[in-house]
Amino acid sequence: MGPYYVIIIPALGGLIIGPIINAFSRETKGHGVPEVMLAVANAGGRIRPRVAVVKALASSICIGSGGSVGREGPIVQIGSALGSSLAQVFNLTEEKTKILVACGAAGGIAATFNAPLAGIFFSLEVILREYGPRHFSSVVLSGVTAAITSRYFLGDHPAFLTPTYQLLSLWEMPLYFIFGFLTAGAAWLFIKVLYKSEDLFKLIKIPEYIKPAMGGLLVGLIGLYFPQIFGVGYESIELALSGKIVFGTVVLLVFFKILATSLTLGSGGSGGVFAPSLFIGAMLGEAFGKLTQILMPDIAIPPGACALVGMGATFAGAAQAPISAILILFEMTGDYKIILPLMITCVISTVVIKRLTKESIYTLKLVRRGINIQKIEGMDLMEEINVFDAMFKKITTVEETTSVKNVDLLFKSTRYRGFSVLDQKNNLVGIVTPKDVNQALVEGKPEVPVKEIMTKNVVVCYPDENLKTALGKLGEKEVAQIPVVERDNPGHLIGLVTRKSIIAAYNQALKEKS
């Protein structure tokens, strides 16, 4: 086939990974980090053990066959799945499970990129989304241990060999400030094209496991003319850092890499968005550096330095994680002299993109599925507990034909503050309280059936409502208890919720959480 084999190879990779993902672990599709974030926020850190195996296999095949993705997303999901599996084996608490998930993510990044600080802060900033002392020590130990192990087997050297950077003029700083806006634009375009690609592939009416092959075929067509877009792309990044790619090519590679990565992931491939972000930023940086050399040679930014800064700033904007981006680039290059322009562009990129979109490239995937992770994380504990978990399931009821005096005797023998009243078909028709009974006795109606004195407009709760809603109903109606009925069958009584049961459930949940 001559050079045209590159069109077929990515499609063959898609044909292999499509059935694997759809048959064994659908959560391994895509870049993986959002699924880990969701597991931490909403599932107590529980991730299925098979995720580690399937993600490793699918991502390896996708990257190896030319898919335009990175290895950061896979290693985060693999490490997190291993940490979660370990916690599940030892039946650890929810809080400790989340910490082990974070440890797995930190260790994976620290080992893969020889960057322990980056792994630690990525895990805290993106996965846990908080910096707490109870998390920090464990995550640090994991990141350091992983980095030491990696260095023993793979050697201690930076991920990228970069030219020495020197700040030649203070006028470079305003140029980096402007460049921060450009990287924000590139990150925003990357996010938009990626999820637009997902939408377009959803409209195609073919089996899901075939779509990665279609995406691979389109990536192959791009790679026929621009082979730099295949795989992780670190070799091309190093060429950009050395300023060895011509101006026109680097400009085109910015857009074709965005398109190729979007096609790979949008069609259902498996891999990360970190390496593509670095690639896009490096190409954009070299282009901007070369442009400053043409327009203002006296204060121009070295293309290699600008490429390096662009890598960090583009990822900072896409992930909305400036601290992680700064540390990752600093550790991956080992060049501290670049830190000042790097901080400027990363912060500018993050601030600007937050004005364009509230969601990062990770959280937007969840929001599109109707999951607001920020709302979940800020949720009150009372909103996390369902009425079903707090209600009394064994309850005493009375029939509607029971006399007032018999209900009075039942109140005196049990000291309950109310009974649910059922008809002959065992459907809830009302509720009777001691106040109702006493009023009937004062009026001389001891033999009257309870259906004549009961409250018929009953306030009810549903088992899937949260305790905050139930407590609001108790306070609004000033009642001591509320019947719980099935949502689909409002006459079917299944329990009773009271202030006492709500407090007991809340205390139990608080105890488990702490």
Q: Identify the three-state secondary structure at position 484.
A: strand
Give the per-residue pLDDT at 101: 94
CATH number listed for the domain at residues 383-513: 3.10.580.10
How far, in Å, CA of 76 to CA of 69, rounded? Answer: 14
Give the whole-angstrom CA distance, residue 336 versus residue 54: 38
| CATH topology identical between 2-154 and 383-513 | no
Q: What share of the chain is helix, strand, coil (3-state, %, to 5)?
A: 70, 5, 25
Count of Cβ atoms closer than 10 Å to residue 124 Cβ: 23
Domain ranges of the chain: 2-154, 172-371, 383-513
Other beta carbons within 10 angstroms of residue 236's beta carbon come to 24
CB burial of residue 245 (10 Å; 0-12, 13-18, 19+): buried
Of the options 1.10.3080.10, 2.160.20.70, 3.40.640.10, 3.40.50.2300, the CATH number for the domain spanning 172-371: 1.10.3080.10
What pLDDT does residue 514 have?
Answer: 58
Q: Give yes or no for a contact between 261 and 281, defined as CB atoms under 8 angstroms apart.
A: no
Residues in the chain with pLDDT values less than 50: 378
CATH class of 2-154: mainly alpha
For the stretch 220-238, pLDDT in tens is: 999 999 999 999 998 999 8
Task: Give the per-residue pLDDT at 287.
Answer: 95
Residue 329 confidence (pLDDT): 80
- At 460-476, the pLDDT tens digits run 999 888 888 888 888 88
> Token pair of 471, please?
């407590």
**259, 192 in Cβ contact below 8 A?**
no
| pTM of the entire predicted model | 0.75
